[in-house]
Amino acid sequence: MRIIPVDLGHCSYRIVLGHQVFAEAETGRLLAAAASDRKCLIVTDTTVGPLYADQAQASLVRAGAAACSVVTFPAGEASKTLSTVATLYEAAVSAQLDRSDCVVALGGGVVGDVAGFSAATYMRGVSYLQFPTTLLALVDSSVGGKTGVDLAAGKNLVGAFHQPSLVVGDLTFLGSLPVREMRCGLAEVAKYAMIMDVDFYGELMANAQLLLAREPRVAERVIARCCRLKVKVVQADETEQGMRAILNYGHTFGHALEKVGGFSRLNHGEAVSAGMGMAVDLASAAGLSSVDLPSRQDDLFSRLGLPLTASMPDVNPDDVLAAMQADKKVQGGRLRLVLPREIGRVEVLDYTDTERMLKAIEGRLG
Ligand SMILES: NC(=O)c1ccc[n+]([C@@H]2O[C@H](COP(=O)([O-])OP(=O)(O)OC[C@H]3O[C@@H](n4cnc5c(N)ncnc54)[C@H](O)[C@@H]3O)[C@@H](O)[C@H]2O)c1
């Protein structure tokens, strides 16, 4: 079991990671500090709820929660909407949650983002806990306090920064995660290596097979390293005024691919993988990085079973570029992109060469 502190002044909290962590006495103590004598509303989805809600509920009751109810919404990105948020507000009212009570997000990034946004806004803000159950949520979305929902116009267009009061990640929950969802998280794992940790790139190249097999010690070490890297960035720039933008590597391309695919053809990780491919090709073509950087990134992605392209040859690159222009990272009409310089180092740039961008997009659509 590992405990990683997140130092954000009065919003500081801890990340507890390990196998069977809910059975650990220390987890019980931290849960008691966050939830005892409070009414808790566990928010989960239709896949995760039947698997783990009873266990989460029992842990919260053992930790002294005053009451603990569960609300479930349909699994998947399509539920990341304001209408789901409205149903969560209704559930909070029914459970008589007041400002001293708390929301518990039990699930992947969708549950975490929607539950976190509901907690940020219900009664002008109640506390919330994250119990991440996907690899993506463990290494990325449960840490750092970004919450939000999608609009028809694009992903994550409505949201709030709201830090959780505790994150408890039981890695045994990964045992039931489908391989496709596992890969989704591996895209974010690979991202950390590419943007800020060349040694981690080497570790992932060496341990890809064990990681794919979910070997417990390797999985725990890798997930903890990702959390520490994310914490480092969030501590330096909690509300994305500067450095935190590096975490968006591949995401401006990726979100656009998700959108042109109607949010159903690619999942988030697949889109971000192809998006990082587009970004590295663009960096190399623009002379920002060495010519072999795309193949070095592709080597790592192949080992991790990540897609190198979007597999959407029918899509027009202009539509992807148009979707990128609508992304919220456009500032003053200029597209802001995270582009790699070398493994472990990226730069955030206002990029204007449309021709080169279209070429980079086209090269990874098929
Ligand atoms: N807030 C942030 O900082 C941040 C960062 C990255 C991504 N995100 C968001 O996260 C979302 C993607 O998250 P995700 O990939 O976790 O998707 P998800 O929450 O939709 O989970 C993927 C699927 O796996 C199922 N699942 C979850 N845990 C399971 C388990 N242990 N066993 C079996 N099935 C399980 C879910 O029910 C769902 O069907 C996107 O909306 C993205 O925008 C947010």
pLDDT at 226: 98
In the predicted model, what is the mean pLDDT of residues 231-250? 95
Catalytically annotated residue among 162, 183, 191, 248: 248
CA distances for 30 relative to 6, 36, 273, 337, angstroms: 14, 10, 35, 39
pLDDT at residue 317 is higher than 80: yes
**Which residues does ligand 1 sit against, CB inside 6 Å?**
45, 47-48, 51, 75-77, 80, 107-111, 113, 133-134, 136-137, 140-141, 144, 146, 155-156, 173, 176-177, 181, 184, 268
Mean pLDDT of 277-288: 97
Q: How big is the CA angle at 260 (ends 349 and 265), to the nearest 5 degrees?
A: 115
Alpha helices in the chain (DSSP H): 25-35, 48-62, 82-94, 109-121, 135-136, 179-196, 198-212, 216-236, 251-260, 268-285, 293-303, 317-325, 354-363
Look up 215 and say whether it is catalytic: no
* Tokens representing residue 73 in the block: 């919404």
Listed residue (277, 243, 281) closest to 257, CA to CA: 277
Ligand 1 atom nearest the C-alpha of 269 is 15
Mutate to test the pocket of ligand 1, among 52, 110, 156 (most ligand atoms within 8 A of CB): 110
Rounded to the nearest integer, the mean pLDDT of the chain is 96
Predicted local confidence at residue 262, as pLDDT? 86
pTM of the model: 0.95
Within 10 Å of residue 59's Cβ, how many Cβ atoms?
22
Could you tell me the distance, in angstroms and rounded to a whole number, from the CA of residue 112 to the centre of ligand 1?
A: 8
- Can you give the length of the chain in residues? 366
Q: How far apart are the first and last CA of the chain?
A: 43
Using alpha carbons, select from 242, 260, 258 the residue that is nearest to residue 250.
Answer: 258
pLDDT band at 325 (very low <50, low <70, confident <90, very high): confident
pLDDT recorded at residue 351: 87
Mean pLDDT across 11-19: 98
Per the model's pLDDT, the better-predicted residue between 264 and 162 turns out to be 162
User: Residue 153: its pLDDT value, please?
Assistant: 80
Q: What is the pLDDT of residue 330?
A: 65
Task: Please give the Cα distance from 334 to 113 (Å, whole number).
Answer: 27
Each residue's pLDDT tens digit, 157-184: 999 999 999 999 999 999 999 999 999 9
Assess whether pLDDT exceeds 70 at residue 329: no
* Identified catalytic residue from 38, 39, 80, 230: 230
Give the list of residues 6+ apart from residue 263 with CB closer than 8 angstroms, or none: 77, 78, 150
Type and span of the H or E element at 166: strand 166-170
